């Protein structure tokens, strides 16, 4: 599941003038591919230009798939982390939502119509994550949710709609149909109103929750308009008096230069935006390489373009500390190092010409690395072939094994393995043939000495255990042999039918004594099972049945 531990937010509106740290994320989805379409759902993105004109840092997206939705979320997180200080933050999401018992997910346009509780965690943006971020800006955070028009179930434990998790203290949430949210945003941005929570509910039909103090203002200021005063008597024209303050401030923000801000202060030293103008002058004068930063910003590098730059830096041995399409401290240090080595000012911000040079250098370096790799491979192939000629090409097992030990993945590895397999199979067949001949001879002699000689010649052979068993049988104590013969004779005198033998095997099997196949044939496994039974009950251990063993065995089985 994508990582939503970081948060997204949109600085849309809280009371007071817009400040430099205000941030906005606006996403409107309408063109769903498999889910019901959300008419007018993307209208909330249209006012993004007005937001930027007001000085808000806006991250916006229209009809986003899952991956770009994730990227937009990550971009907002980076903006918030790179711009320390107070923020006014809000999020506007308009589209289809999927809800569970305790959370909701904003869905990308490529969400499948068979989306379920498992896949929605990978594709959707959870509102719990958004609220977790907004919680860091109490009293300055706003969340607007424009719902699609559809309702009903999506799958087990999942349906259309919005279930809000616990809203953190200080976060204001407004929700309603996508069209109503779009109208509200447009009116707030373009008409300059300053609606309160009450007005949002009454005038726009939105549902408010979370932080809702009386008279809460989202945009503009609530200061009363000053009463008109008589114009001063002057002997010469004073054009400044007739300057429209909002229009001058809008022009100033678009210019965003020290000269523009000072011009504004000359006209309105105590104006409503004077404090912001002074703060911006200080920010501009104290920020190193501001012009370079703005120039790079004007390039509008996409996430993929930034990834390409990071890959090129890495290819040239300038480590950007990750290839994620986000220019963090690691990427900036890598850019500075590259700029120094190429005799550019080490600003950490790239120009179009520098990007072109970086691409060219990376292409040359990639070609050089490929050529170096080709030459190394040719040298290794020559060494590989030379060793093969000395070892594996001779065709014997030692030579083939020597080649495979040095070149297990070499040019001739498959050939060597196949030839060695044939040799080893032939050797095993020959060994089996010689062992079979030796075993036949030992069996014909049938003496301890004959079987011992067989074991000495074939200590690991397939018949070595059988030879040892015959030696053990031949060297047993005569008394043991006689006792076994008596036990065998006693069992034989019982004249047990095949059915009775089968019942005995069945009883032994049910006791877990492993008598082998239950078929009425007493094999070595059956004898072993009988001995286990007799030994556990302190009976004479013979491996053969007698009256006592049968009676006890049947009784045990019945009682079990």
Specify the range with the lowest mean pLDDT, choosing from 150-159, 195-204, 234-243, 301-310: 234-243
pLDDT band for position 309 (cuts 50, 70, 90): very high
Specify the range with the lowest mean pLDDT, choosing from 60-64, 204-208, 340-344, 449-453: 204-208
Average pLDDT along the chain:
82
Provide the Cα torsion 264, 267, 271, 274; round to 10°.
Answer: 30
What angle, 0 to 180 degrees and rounded to 10, lies between the N-to-C axes of helices 464-474 and 448-457?
160
Residue 393 is predicted with a pLDDT of 86
Between these two residues, 254 and 48, which has the higher pLDDT value? 254
Pairing between β-strand 89-95 and β-strand 23-28 as defined by DSSP bridges: parallel
Between these two residues, 441 and 152, which has the higher pLDDT value? 441
Pairing between β-strand 104-106 and β-strand 125-126 as defined by DSSP bridges: antiparallel
Q: 290 has which bridge partners?
A: none
**Per-residue pLDDT reduced to its tens digit, 19-40:** 446 888 899 998 888 888 887 7
Contact of 404 with 416, CB cutoff 8 Å? yes
Contact of 13 with 87, CB cutoff 8 Å? no
Residue 487 is predicted with a pLDDT of 92
Between these two residues, 141 and 309, which has the higher pLDDT value? 309
Question: Domains of the chain by range and CATH?
Answer: 23-210 (3.40.50.1460), 241-287 (no CATH), 291-365 (1.10.101), 414-475 (no CATH), 478-559 (1.10.101)
Task: Identify the CA nearest to 185 among candidates 221, 139, 146, 215.
Answer: 146
The CB-side HSE value for 225 (13 A sphere, CA atoms) comes to: 2
Residue 486 is predicted with a pLDDT of 93
**CB 554: neighbour CB atoms within 10 A?**
14
**Per-residue pLDDT reduced to its tens digit, 134-183:** 777 777 888 889 888 666 777 777 888 888 888 887 788 888 888 888 88
Residue 523 is predicted with a pLDDT of 93
Residue range 188-206: mean pLDDT, rounded: 58
**Per-residue pLDDT reduced to its tens digit, 137-148:** 777 888 889 888
Residue 83 is predicted with a pLDDT of 67
Residue 57 is predicted with a pLDDT of 83
pTM, two decimal places? 0.40
Q: Give 521's DSSP letter.
A: -
Asked if residue 227 has pLDDT above 60, the reply is: no
Asked if residue 253 has pLDDT above 80, the reply is: yes
């Amino acid at each position: 599941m994508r990582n939503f531990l970081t948060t997204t937010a949109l600085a849309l509106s809280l009371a007071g003038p817009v400040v430099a740290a205000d941030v906005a994320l606006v996403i409107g989805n309408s063109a769903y591919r498999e889910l019901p379409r959300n008419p007018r759902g993307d209208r909330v993105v249209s006012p993004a230009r007005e937001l930027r004109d007001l000085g808000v840092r806006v991250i916006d997206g229209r009809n986003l798939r899952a991956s770009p939705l994730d990227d937009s979320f990550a971009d907002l997180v980076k903006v918030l982390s790179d711009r320390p200080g107070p923020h006014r933050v809000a999020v506007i999401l308009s589209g289809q939502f999927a809800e569970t018992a305790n959370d909701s997910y904003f869905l990308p346009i490529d969400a499948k119509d068979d989306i379920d509780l498992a896949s929605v965690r990978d594709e959707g943006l959870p509102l719990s994550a958004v609220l977790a971020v907004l919680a860091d800006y109490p009293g300055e955070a706003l969340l607007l949710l424009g719902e699609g028009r559809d309702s009903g179930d999506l799958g087990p434990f999942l349906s259309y709609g919005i279930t809000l998790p616990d809203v953190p203290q200080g976060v204001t949430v407004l929700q309603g149909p996508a069209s109503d949210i779009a109208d509200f945003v447009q009116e707030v941005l373009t008409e300059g109103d300053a609606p309160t929570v009450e007005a949002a509910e009454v005038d726009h039909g939105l549902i408010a929750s979370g932080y809702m103090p009386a008279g809460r203002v989202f945009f503009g200021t609530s200061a009363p308009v000053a009463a008109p005063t008589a114009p001063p008597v002057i002997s010469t024209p004073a054009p400044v008096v007739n300057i429209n303050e909002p229009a001058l401030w809008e022009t100033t923000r678009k210019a965003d230069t020290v000269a523009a801000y000072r011009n504004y202060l000359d006209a309105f030293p105590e104006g409503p935006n004077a404090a912001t103008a002074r703060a911006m002058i200080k920010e501009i004068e104290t920020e190193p390489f501001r012009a370079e930063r703005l120039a790079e910003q004007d390039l509008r590098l996409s996430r993929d373009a930034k990834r390409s730059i990071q890959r090129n830096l890495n290819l040239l041995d300038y480590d950007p500390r990750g290839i994620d399409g986000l220019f963090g401290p690691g990427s900036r240090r890598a850019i500075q190092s590259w700029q120094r080595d190429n005799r550019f000012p080490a600003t950490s911000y790239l120009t179009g010409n520098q990007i072109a040079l970086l691409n060219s250098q990376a292409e040359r370096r990639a070609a050089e690395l490929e050529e170096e790799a080709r030459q190394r491979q040719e040298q290794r192939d020559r060494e590989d072939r030379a060793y093969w000629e000395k070892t594996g090409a001779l065709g014997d097992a030692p030579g083939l094994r020597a080649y495979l030990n040095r070149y297990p993945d070499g040019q001739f590895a498959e050939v060597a393995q196949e030839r060695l397999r044939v040799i080893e199979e032939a050797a095993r067949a020959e060994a089996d043939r010689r062992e079979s001949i030796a075993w036949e001879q030992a069996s014909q002699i049938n003496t301890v000495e004959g079987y011992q000689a067989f074991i000495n010649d074939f200590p690991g052979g397939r018949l070595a255990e059988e030879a040892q068993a015959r030696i053990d049988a031949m060297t047993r104590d005569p008394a043991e042999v006689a006792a076994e013969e008596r036990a065998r004779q006693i069992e034989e005198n019982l004249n047990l039918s095949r059915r009775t033998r089968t019942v005995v095997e069945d009883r032994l099997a049910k006791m877990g004594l492993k008598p082998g196949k239950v078929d009425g044939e007493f094999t070595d496994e059956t004898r072993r099972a009988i001995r286990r039974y007799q030994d556990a009950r302190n009976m004479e251990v013979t491996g053969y049945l007698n009256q006592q063993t049968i009676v006890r065995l049947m009784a045990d089985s019945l009682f079990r």
